[in-house]
Structure 1
């Protein structure tokens, strides 16, 4: 009887360990305007590097300097999805700004959401994935010098 009970326990443990845990990963479309108004984003980003989202019209381009992507996460525990997503968005924008300055660019154009390398282009929204413990925003942009 002990062997049967042990066999059942081992089988149950094996079955239980093969079932994947379901973590929360809510895809949210967040407004760019609200994110740029939160966390003092406008003043933190300044105006030395200009940002153009999606297919926004840009001034004439003098030189293309490359592209890059960033994936930023923040702790979402105890935060609203909006708060967590806006923090992750600002972190991503600061990374794009830093890279632009390193390259001598004065603008980042064609900024798109790039979560898990799946592009989503919008002039008004960005994609954020909100989980129980972490929220993340991935951005991709092209660095240029404007005329």
Structure 2
């Protein structure tokens, strides 16, 4: 029987390790409207803070309080990518809602997807990345006070 050389064994081990370390990172563009129609589990999204995505008309801004970024992840095990992405999208909205309330704002305007600091502006879709165990959504928007329509 022929003996394998140490460099050959090391190369084989490194190759196998690198294959298992490559994580799935599937990009999805999903409907803001469909995901927004879901109810957040804690009932935080009560309508007291309005959300306006890039390109959507909104009432005049009385005061800009802060530009905020939220980067949320959720457990994707046992869920479809779409289901996990919708849940993590709601989590991102909850974080923006909480920050707006904390600052005295009543709206978040100019919301864009902000995955890995890359802006994707859309009035109809958000960007989500899903892997084998996690799904993630990052959003950036301006927390403001708006007047009534």
Q: Same fold (TM over 0.5)?
A: yes
Distance 1:63 1:28, change over 3 A: same
CA distance in 2, matches of 1:57, 1:65: 19
Maintained 8 Å contact 1:39/1:87:
no
Runs of 4+ in 1 over 6 A off after TM superposition: none
What SS does the aligned partner of 2:113 have? Answer: strand
Maintained 8 Å contact 2:40/2:91:
no
Root-mean-square deviation (Å): 2.1
Maintained 8 Å contact 1:71/1:92:
yes
What does 1:90-101 align with in structure 2 at a 5 Å threshold? Answer: 90-101=90-101
2:83 aligned residue? 83
CA distance in 2, matches of 1:112, 1:103: 20
CA distance in 2, matches of 1:129, 1:12: 31
Maintained 8 Å contact 1:72/1:88:
yes
Q: Which runs of 5+ in 1 are unaligned?
A: none
1:112 aligned residue? 112
TM-score for the superposition, normalised by structure 2? 0.87
CA distance in 1, matches of 2:13, 2:32: 46
CA distance in 2, matches of 1:18, 1:24: 13
What SS does the aligned partner of 2:99 have? Answer: helix
Q: Which has the higher helix share?
A: 1
TM-score for the superposition, normalised by structure 1? 0.88
CA distance in 1, matches of 2:17, 2:37: 45
1:73 aligned residue? 73
2:63 aligned residue? 63
CA distance in 2, matches of 1:82, 1:19: 26
Q: Which runs of 5+ in 2 are unaligned?
A: none
**1:11, CA displacement in angstroms?**
4.3
Moved more, 103-112 or 7-16: 7-16
Maintained 8 Å contact 2:28/2:129:
yes
